[in-house]
């Protein structure tokens, strides 16, 4: 039986102090959708759980000066249903609909999903493609970490043992920008065979100015398909070059064989999904 002491801080400052005191012996719990299965299967055995679910001021979706701000206790369901998210970043609202089931989204948080560092996370690749940044706090102060640098290896992040993520920031995109995300899976709530997010900005015509293509579930952490990105920038949109982008994106994948398919099959799915999301992102960029 896993035994732990549940700590209930009254505010964020107290939560930081408790985490600084106990460090690796403690885990933060908010929605608990990622943490509780680890406890159940005895994959972790912390001495303390620090519950931040009831802290005030960490559940919000705001339109700031430079972009969208989402508080750490904002649930996946709230993001899915947010009119502001739908307006600013429709890709984010869309992908939230495939994060587990409705019950999971009602309780689980976006920030908690990211901090779990699962290689099958839905939000991570899309948020990296959007250029998101995480803000964290500790007794030492605050800092910001680009989400692209947050995932350092399998199930491991750049977050210190005394840090709490308080907010995710998503910058406003330039004009003529579109994004798309897709995960290939067998059943609705299954882990992805392969997933890809793409954000494409055009220069006002049909020439690609900025491209970010991020793969997930085919490496221990999310990975940008940088060769594919470099290839697409500066090119006029046509179907032929999108086929080449898909081939280049597949080169960034390093999948393993598992119950969802062989490594070879997953590589092929990377090409299929990349072509799909890049095509859709360009279509949406033209429509803005």
pLDDT in tens, 3-61: 899 999 999 999 999 999 999 999 999 988 778 888 887 888 899 999 999 999 999 99
Strands (E), 172-244: 177-184, 194-202, 208-216, 223-224
Architecture of domain 5-51: 2-Layer Sandwich (3.30)
Look at residue 70 and give its three-state secondary structure: strand
Architecture of domain 179-287: 2-Layer Sandwich (3.30)
Architecture of domain 61-171: 2-Layer Sandwich (3.30)
Contact 79, 96 (CB under 8 A): yes
Which one, of 19, 31, 26, lies nearest residue 44 by Cα?
26
Q: Which sequence spans correspond to the domains of the chain?
A: 5-51, 61-171, 179-287
Residue 267 has pLDDT above 60, yes or no: yes
pLDDT single digits (tens) 134-168 = 999 999 999 999 999 999 999 999 999 999 999 99
Q: What is the pLDDT of residue 80?
A: 96
Contact 233, 198 (CB under 8 A): no
């Amino acid at each position: 039986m896993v035994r732990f002491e549940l700590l209930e801080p009254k505010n964020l400052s107290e939560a930081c102090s408790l985490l600084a005191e106990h460090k690796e012996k403690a885990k933060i719990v908010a929605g608990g959708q990622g943490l509780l299965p680890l406890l159940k299967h005895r994959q972790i055995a912390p001495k303390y759980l620090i519950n931040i679910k009831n802290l005030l001021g960490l559940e919000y979706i705001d339109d700031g000066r430079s972009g969208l701000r989402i508080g750490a206790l904002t649930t996946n369901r709230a993001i899915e249903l947010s009119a502001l998210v739908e307006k600013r970043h429709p890709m984010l609202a869309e992908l939230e609909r495939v994060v587990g089931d409705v019950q999971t989204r009602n309780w689980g948080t976006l920030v908690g999903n990211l901090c779990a560092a699962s290689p099958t996370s839905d939000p991570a690749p899309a948020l990296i493609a959007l250029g998101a940044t995480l803000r964290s706090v500790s007794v030492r102060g605050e800092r910001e970490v680009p989400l692209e640098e947050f995932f350092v290896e399998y199930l491991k992040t750049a977050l210190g043992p005394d840090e709490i993520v308080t907010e995710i920031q998503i910058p406003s995109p330039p004009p003529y920008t579109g994004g798309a995300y897709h995960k290939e899976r067998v059943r609705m709530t299954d882990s992805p065979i392969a997933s890809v997010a793409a954000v494409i900005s055009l220069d006002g015509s049909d020439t690609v100015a900025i491209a970010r293509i991020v793969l997930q579930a085919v490496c221990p952490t999310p990975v940008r398909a940088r060769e594919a990105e470099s290839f697409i920038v500066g090119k006029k949109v046509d179907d032929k070059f999108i086929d080449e982008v898909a081939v280049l994106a597949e080169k960034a994948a390093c999948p393993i064989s598992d119950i969802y398919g062989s490594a070879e099959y997953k590589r092929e799915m990377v090409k299929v999904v990349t072509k799909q999301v890049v095509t859709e992102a360009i279509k949406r960029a033209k429509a803005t």
